[in-house]
Structure 1
Amino acid sequence: MKFLADMGISLRTVFWLRSSGYDVVHLRDEGLQKLPDDQILVKARTEERILLTVDLDFAQLLATSGDNLPSVILFRLGNENYNAINERLTEVLRECQADLELGAIISVSNETFRIRRLPI
């Protein structure tokens, strides 16, 4: 799996994913901090990456587009520090790999996660 980390995702999460063997790009790595949301989705889709974000706008943009990719993992945690995100991300990757490969928006809260298959 390949990932694109939005600006709200800590570089520590990116380093953790890389050390676990994943291909991960953070927008900051490429100087794309100000890239508009719709272009971030295009980048993720073109590069076949799963978007990691805390920004609700991506789920809405993707839902209204009718597209089935890219997949988005949306973190809606009370505590969005990298430790909390890494812990929840571990569970999502273990349990939702097939959904992510086919296209889904996965909304992750402290105790649960909800899978919405794409297109919506």
Structure 2
Amino acid sequence: MRFLADMGISQHTISWLHRQGFDAVHLRDENLQRLSDNKVLAKAAMENRVLLTMDLDFGYLVAISKQILPGVIIFRLSDERSEMATSRLSEVLVKCAYDIQPGVIISVSDRTIRIRRLPI
């Protein structure tokens, strides 16, 4: 599984993914921190990566698109520190591994994981 992290995701989470054997890049690694949301989605799709984000706009953009866009994992956490995001991501990877695919939005809160397959 390949991941692309948006600016709200910590580099520590990307390092954790690397230690778990995943291919993961952060927008900052490629000096793309100012890339528009649409271009971030296009990059994730072109590179066959699941987008990790804390930005709710991505869920909306994927939902209204007429295309199958990359899978998106959106973190909606009250505590956005990297330790919490990494812990919740670890749970998602165990519980939802087969659901992480193009056209799927996974919304992760403090207590729940919600999976939505498009179209909604």
Tell me the TM-score range normalised by the shorter chain: over 0.9
Give the Cα separation in 2 of the matches to 1:2 and 1:10.
Answer: 16
Match of 1:79 in 2: 79
Percentage of identical aligned residues: 57
Q: Quick one: distance in 2 between partners of 1:8 and 1:33?
A: 10
TM-score norm. by structure 1 comes to 0.96
Aligned to 1:37: 37
1:51 Cα shift?
A: 0.2
Aligned pair count reads: 120
Matched, 1:117 2:110: no
Partner Cα separation in structure 1 for residue 24 and residue 119 of structure 2: 24
Structure 1 runs (4+) deviating above 4 angstroms are: none
Q: Structure 2 unaligned runs (5+)?
A: none
State TM-score, norm by structure 2.
0.96
Aligned-residue Cα RMSD (Å) equals: 1.0
Query: Which structure shows the bigger proportion of residues in helix conformation?
Result: 1
Alpha-carbon deviations, 1:1-22, whole Å to 9, x = none? 0000000000000111111100
Q: Give the match's secondary structure for 2:4.
A: strand
Provide the rounded CA distance (Å) in 2 between the counterparts of 1:62 and 1:45: 11
Residues 102 and 43 (structure 1 numbering): CA distance in 2 closer, same or farther, change over 3 Å?
closer
What is the rounded CA distance, in whole Å, between the counterparts of 1:95 and 1:118 in structure 2? 19
1:43-72 CA-to-partner distances (Å, cap 9, x unmatched) read 000100000000001000000003333000
Secondary structure, aligned partner of 2:87: helix
Offset at 1:79?
Answer: 0.1
Alpha-carbon deviation of 1:34? 0.3
